Amino acid sequence: MATTPRIGVVTFPGSLDDRDAARAVRAAGAEAVPLWHGDAELRGVDAVVLPGGFSYGDYLRAGAIARFSPVVNEIVSAASRGLPVLGICNGFQVLCESGLLPGALIRNAGLHFVCRDQRLRVESVTTRWTSDYDEGAEIVIPVKHGEGRYVADQATVDALEADGRVAVRYLDNPNGATNDIAGIRNESGNVVGLMPHPEHAIDPLTGPSTDGLTMFGSVLGALVSA
Amino acid sequence: MARVIVDVMPKPEILDPQGQAIVRALPGLGFEGVTSVRQGKRFEIEIDGGDPAAIARQAAEALLANPAIEDFTVHLDG
């Protein structure tokens, strides 16, 4: 009998979506383990979610201060050993600032904060967080951000495209992101960051779809079969 | 006490939508002939001891600027 997988959800000062992320983790069938930004330990979790919000008030740059928090130091070293890590919105920004993922998220083209149900295409299913999707699947997940425009130097973008490391792509780009990139993965596929919010699309009562639940279910499948 | 200025600017190839919004707003206020605005950040840092310029440069590399999107310059004030 397999034990229930434990997925950590980090709370920074200014996190907003940690409760929804924990709810999504439970809906997928795992135990949600709260992780505090100031704690230099991961409590033995099997995977980690960095949720959306405005960690440390987005001071300096979104994610720039959170990157230096004790818990993120632990996550960076654990990710290099294969721990599955999902960064959502502000969590994606933290992953880019920490160097776990390349590039950066900057102010939306047009400057407007965008909040809407967003159509996406799943481009890479060889990650710990997208393995249960069909490759090329079109899904609907909310976006809500002012600084979600993915940019990187041309060599990095070319490498992402050549290696299939674009995880999800916008079908109608809300922020001017390079190559319509909504989310990317690292080389080994355990780290995924994306601007849209899968935790807000797990229940037809409160979201536009249940497409986001598959992301949390994907990592569980890998953990249970491991 | 040394005072060090670190200027951080978006890289030339990075679109600066804030600068673009400002350049579009200026003609309406009567400012003619402004063809470009780039918006960055300026840090005024006071450092006691050591090599202030070197310390500020290390701080810029580690935290103040993101090398993926920004360039920075360091100079001593005064």
> What residue ranges define each of the domains in chain A, with the CATH number in brackets?
6-103+112-225 (3.40.50.880)
pLDDT band (50, 70, 90) for residue A225: low
Q: Is A138 a catalytic residue?
A: no
User: Quick one: tokens of A127?
Assistant: 């990650």
Which tens digit of pLDDT belongs to each residue from A96-106? 999 999 999 99
The residue from A89, A145, A147, A200 that is catalytic is A89
- Can you tell me whether residue A27 is helix, strand or coil? helix
Domain at B22, CATH number: 3.30.1280.10
In 3D, which of A1, A148, A158, A39 has the Cα closest to residue A87? A148
Nearest residue of A to residue B12 by CA position?
Answer: A153
User: Quick one: tokens of A174?
Assistant: 């809300």
Among A154-158, A197-201, B12-16, the minimum mean pLDDT is found in B12-16
At residue A158, what are phi and psi to the nearest 5 degrees? Answer: -60, -40
Q: Is A161 a catalytic residue?
A: no
Question: What pLDDT is stored for residue A210 in this prediction?
Answer: 97
Amino acid at A113: F
Range of the domain at B72: 2-76
Number of domains in chain B: 1
Sign of CA dihedral B61, B64, B69, B74: negative
A67 neighbors A28 (Cβ within 8 angstroms)? no
Average pLDDT over residues A207-225: 90
User: Quick one: tokens of A73?
Assistant: 């130091």
In 3D, which of A10, A23, A27, A31 has the Cα closest to residue A90? A10
Measured between beta carbons, the chain B residues lying within 8 angstroms of A110 are: 17
> Tens of pLDDT along chain B (78 residues)?
999 999 999 999 888 888 999 999 999 999 999 999 999 999 999 999 999 999 999 999 999 999 999 999 999 987
Angle at A86 between CA A81 and CA A91, to 5 degrees: 115
How far is the C-alpha of A155 from the C-alpha of A176, rounded, in Å?
19
CB-CB under 8 Å, A151 with B14: yes
Give Cα separations from B36 to B8, B14, B26, B33 (angstroms).
17, 14, 10, 9
Q: Is A197 a catalytic residue?
A: yes
